[in-house]
């Protein structure tokens, strides 16, 4: 299964003074997706970047841009991030009143739609949306900051979601974000994850280490 694992470095841990170059470096180092954390200082206690920055970064890699929106309300920004070059847009059920409508708005732009589950978010929110989504992102930390410790209780949730995906018969990616490193990556993979978001674990050691770091997360 490790051959099917996708690594999506979170640029939250990159050098913000040279984001374009950093994206080119992780692309060359063998990443599969580029994970972009968008925070508004309201839904989560941090502020990062907006659609104009995503648009500016788009020319630096042809890899899929995996855009995680930690903003509320979310609906009014979908078009802006789709226009900026997002290939996948994920959002939290708590970020808007009509989850299905939000998914449909994302899909209408020809972009993959993802649902993000915080550590305490119930799986029940997935019951009537599995036929419409392309990705489920399990947060193995509370969202808002990089460098947090992996919450091991989320492994049970990952396993449960893997069973739901398999039962659906659909090609839904199961992504895990938070505290992913060389020790926790195998645990997430064993539980059923097939996309790993890794910020600190990718960018630690500087550009010369990016390829080694990504390969290690993949289990190579």
Instruction: Please check if 91 is assigned to a binding site.
Output: no
Instruction: Please check if 37 is assigned to a binding site.
Output: yes
**Count of CB atoms within 10 A of residue 126's CB?**
21
Nearest partner of 68 among 30, 12, 15, judged by Cα: 12
- Phi and psi, residue 154, nearest 5°: -75, -15
Nearest partner of 9 among 215, 184, 156, 208, judged by Cα: 215
The residues that are catalytic are 37, 177
Instruction: Please check if 10 is assigned to a binding site.
Output: yes
CB 101 within 8 A of CB 78: no
Instruction: Please check if 114 is assigned to a binding site.
Output: no
**What tokens appear for 62 in the block?**
């042809």
- Rounded distance between C-alpha atoms, residue 88 and residue 68, angstroms: 8
- Rounded distance between C-alpha atoms, residue 142 and residue 147, angstroms: 11
C-alpha Rg value of the chain to the nearest Å: 16
Exposed/middle/buried for residue 86 (C-beta within 10 Å: 0-12, 13-18, 19+)? buried
Instruction: Please check if 131 is assigned to a binding site.
Output: no
Instruction: Please check if 168 is assigned to a binding site.
Output: no
Instruction: Please check if 121 is assigned to a binding site.
Output: no
CA contacts within 13 A on the Cβ side of 186: 5
Instruction: Please check if 144 is assigned to a binding site.
Output: yes
Instruction: Please check if 145 is assigned to a binding site.
Output: yes
Residue numbers belonging to the annotated binding site? 10, 35, 37, 68, 144-147, 177-179, 199-200
Residue numbers belonging to the annotated binding site for substrate? 10, 68, 144-147, 177-179, 199-200
Residue numbers belonging to the annotated binding site for a divalent metal cation? 35, 37, 68, 177
């Amino acid at each position: 299964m490790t051959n099917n694992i996708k690594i999506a470095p979170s640029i939250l841990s990159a050098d913000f003074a040279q984001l374009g170059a950093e994206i080119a470096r992780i692309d060359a180092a063998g990443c599969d997706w580029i994970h972009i954390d968008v925070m508004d200082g309201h839904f989560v206690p941090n502020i990062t970047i907006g659609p104009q920055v995503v648009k500016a970064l788009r020319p630096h890699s042809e890899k899929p841009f995996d855009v995680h929106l930690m903003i509320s309300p979310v609906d009014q920004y979908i078009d802006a991030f789709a226009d900026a070059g997002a290939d996948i847009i994920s959002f939290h059920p708590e970020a808007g009143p009509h989850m299905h409508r939000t998914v449909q708005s994302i899909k209408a732009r020809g972009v993959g739609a993802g649902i993000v589950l915080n550590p305490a978010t119930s799986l029940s929110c997935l019951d009537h949306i599995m036929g419409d989504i392309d990705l489920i992102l399990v947060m193995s930390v509370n969202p808002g900051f990089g460098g947090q410790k992996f919450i091991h209780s989320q492994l049970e949730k990952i396993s449960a979601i893997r069973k739901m995906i398999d039962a659906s018969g659909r090609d839904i990616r199961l992504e895990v974000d938070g505290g992913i490193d060389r020790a926790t990556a195998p645990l997430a993979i064993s539980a059923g994850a097939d996309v790993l978001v890794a910020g600190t674990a990718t960018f630690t050691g500087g550009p010369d280490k990016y390829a080694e770091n990504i390969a290690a997360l993949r289990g190579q």
